[in-house]
Amino acid sequence: MNVVSRAIRQIDRIGGTEQEPSDLLPLWLCNPSTGARIAQAAATDLVEVERAIAIADEVHSSGIWSGLAIDERSTYLMRVADLLDPYAEDVAAAEAIGSGVVISVTELFAGALAGSFRQAVELIADGWWHTNLSEDGRCIELLRLPWGPVVVLVPWNAPAAIAAKKIAFALAAGAPVILKPPERAPFGCNFLADAICAARLPRGVFQMVHGGVDVGQLLTTDPRIRAVSFTGSVHTGRSIARAGAEDFKALQLELGGNNPVVVRADADIEETARALAEGIVKLNGQWCEGPGKIFVPRTRHDEFVQALQAHLQKYVIGAHDDPSAQIGPLAHEAHRNRLNDQVQRMVNLGALVVMGGVEPDLDGWFWAPRVVVGAEPADCMDELFGPVVTVHPVDSDSEAVALANDSPYGLAGYVFGADIKAAMSVGRDMRFGEVKVNGTSILDLSPSSVQSFWRSSGLGGHGDRDTIRFFCGTQIVGVDKAGLPI
């Protein structure tokens, strides 16, 4: 069996059993490097989805998982981690097919899945779940308890990696989990589910269903689901927020953002262009915290654009499974068409496109990096989600910050400059959840990072402690103080 055929799997996991979804979506999943159809997207029958919800509710009510001692829960999670390691090759191949991201990058993500479960075990080992607040001889306890059944919804750009962390932390918190992989890229999550199910958690603690909007709506509107963790588009996030408002579910919504970059006058242009080119092409530009809207001193605008173009042209564009390729195709044809339309709209308003590479002579969804210049900042508000940025001249840091903050989003930002103290000051003035200085890495700044999702970029935040807290509510139980006047 070749790598592609091994990767093409869509299997439901409901109540401890595996079964093929009975329905199909009007959506073909294609090889992003050739355009060839490889499978039709599957969907779980809504009756089966409802059954999965009922099982999750039963699991939560019974306490079969939340009632386990931390050591026992940790043993299961470590077993999942150990079982995940051998799946790395299959997960990498599946994720590359689903997203178009080159195999050398998806191998890094796939190799880190087990680490999310080991990390979750570390977080629950410190007694955080129970705090003794007793005083004056009165017993008082602060408890952190799972809200109830959790739904995890992940995007198509790195679904297995994102799902692994959310699932690991939710399970560590004591919550039963239902995962719905993205309908456009379900394959990697199926290998993740294989490992979780092989660990033989109690029946129904982890379940997985497939599908599109109908399945998502049922999962997010059912009152038995008490928390929804979603990473994806602003449009879908708004729909989930409306659904969750009906019964006040706990919501963690990491949405999009057109992330601004402030290049200060003292920045090393060559090094700044190199770092930004690296950020632009990461995951083929398909990552929500990628650089998007760059503000450069007017006197250095042309120099910067030329340097950025030169660095972008150095990257090798090729098939997703080509180990020598550094940029792969976009995930699917509709996404490529949308990007073309967005760039053409800016051109129609007077912008110019500077190409940062040449697309290979292949039939897939290839889209070379590009830089858009001459566009008005007000015409560049929407997230692009591809290997493309807009560049805008400014006359001061204060103007750049004002334009950066004039955004409906607030996910991430960047500052480049030689004077670190001044660059940090600019970063503090930007109203975004994470602002990186002189770099565009995809990883958190610190193991203790906390990042809120500002404005239309979502609800809640991420960071290890914040994520595990999200799945829990707090309860205080104790003996009341006698003799109080009111």
Does residue 483 sit within a domain? no
Nearest Cα to Cα of residue 74 among 171, 165, 143:
171
360: alpha, beta or left, given left = phi > 0 and alpha = psi -120 to 50? beta
Long-range pairs, 334-343, Cβ under 8 A, ≥24? 335/286, 335/365, 335/385, 335/386, 336/365, 336/367, 339/367, 339/384, 339/385, 339/386, 339/388, 340/367, 342/382, 342/384, 343/370, 343/372, 343/384, 343/388
- Kindly state whether residues 422 and 471 are assigned to the same domain: no
- Kindly state whether residues 206 and 279 are assigned to the same domain: no
Measure the CA–CA gap between 306 and 320, rounded to whole angstroms: 28
- Kindly state whether residues 272 and 234 are assigned to the same domain: no
- Kindly state whether residues 251 and 263 are assigned to the same domain: no
Q: Decide: 40 and 209 in contact? Cβ < 8 Å.
A: no
Q: Decide: 423 and 437 in contact? Cβ < 8 Å.
A: yes
pLDDT at 1: 40
- Kindly state whether residues 242 and 366 are assigned to the same domain: no
pLDDT at 340: 97
Does residue 486 sit within a domain? no
Nearest Cα to Cα of residue 454 among 255, 288, 162, 232:
255
Does residue 451 sit within a domain? no
- Kindly state whether residues 236 and 267 are assigned to the same domain: no
Give 214's contacts (C-beta < 8 A, 6+ positions apart).
43, 46
- Kindly state whether residues 130 and 251 are assigned to the same domain: yes
- Report in angstroms the alpha-carbon separations of 67 from 64, 147, 226, 456: 6, 13, 18, 37
- Kindly state whether residues 288 and 334 are assigned to the same domain: yes
Beta bridge partners of 206: 177
Q: How far is CA 432 from the centre of its chain?
A: 17
Give 220's contacts (C-beta < 8 A, 6+ positions apart).
151, 153, 228, 239, 240, 243, 244, 249
Nearest Cα to Cα of residue 178 among 26, 60, 40:
60
- Kindly state whether residues 8 and 128 are assigned to the same domain: yes
- Kindly state whether residues 226 and 271 are assigned to the same domain: no
pLDDT at 183: 97
3-class DSSP assignment, residue 79: helix
Q: What's the per-residue H, E or C state across 259-309?
A: EEEEECCCCCHHHHHHHHHHHHHHHHHCCCCCEEEEEEEHHHHHHHHHHHH
pLDDT at 126: 79
Helices (H), 124-233: 159-172, 187-198, 213-221
Does residue 471 sit within a domain? yes
Provide the residue type at 463 as one letter.
G
Measure the CA–CA gap between 388 and 14, rounded to whole angstroms: 41
pLDDT at 129: 86
- Supply φ then ψ for residue 177, to 5 degrees: -125, 135
Identify the CATH number of the domain in which residue 191 sits. Answer: 3.40.605.10
Instruction: Report strand pairing: 454-455 vs 409-410.
Output: antiparallel
Cα of first residue to Cα of last residue in the chain, in angstroms, is 74
Identify the CATH number of the domain in which residue 360 sits. Answer: 3.40.309.10
Exposure class string for 171-201: b at 16+ Cβ within 10 A, else e: bbbbbbbbbbbbbbbbbbbbbbbbbbbebeb
Q: Decide: 470 and 252 in contact? Cβ < 8 Å.
A: yes
pLDDT at 138: 95
Q: How many CB atoms lie within 10 A of CB 80?
A: 28
Structural domain range at position 416: 259-437
Q: Decide: 471 and 227 in contact? Cβ < 8 Å.
A: yes
* Cα atoms found within 13 Å of the Cα of residue 265, Cβ hemisphere only: 9
Domain count, the chain: 2
- Kindly state whether residues 323 and 185 are assigned to the same domain: no
Q: Decide: 346 and 373 in contact? Cβ < 8 Å.
A: no
Does residue 74 sit within a domain? yes
- Kindly state whether residues 280 and 334 are assigned to the same domain: yes
DSSP 323-375: TT-SB---S-HHHHHHHHHHHHHHHHTT-EEEE-----SSSS-----EEEES-
Give 2's contacts (C-beta < 8 A, 6+ positions apart).
none
Does residue 190 sit within a domain? yes
Does residue 452 sit within a domain? no
Mean pLDDT for back-to-back runs of 10 residues, the chain (486 residues)? 65 96 96 96 98 98 96 96 95 96 96 95 87 94 96 96 97 98 97 96 98 97 98 95 95 95 98 98 96 97 98 97 97 96 97 96 96 96 96 98 97 97 98 97 87 93 88 96 91
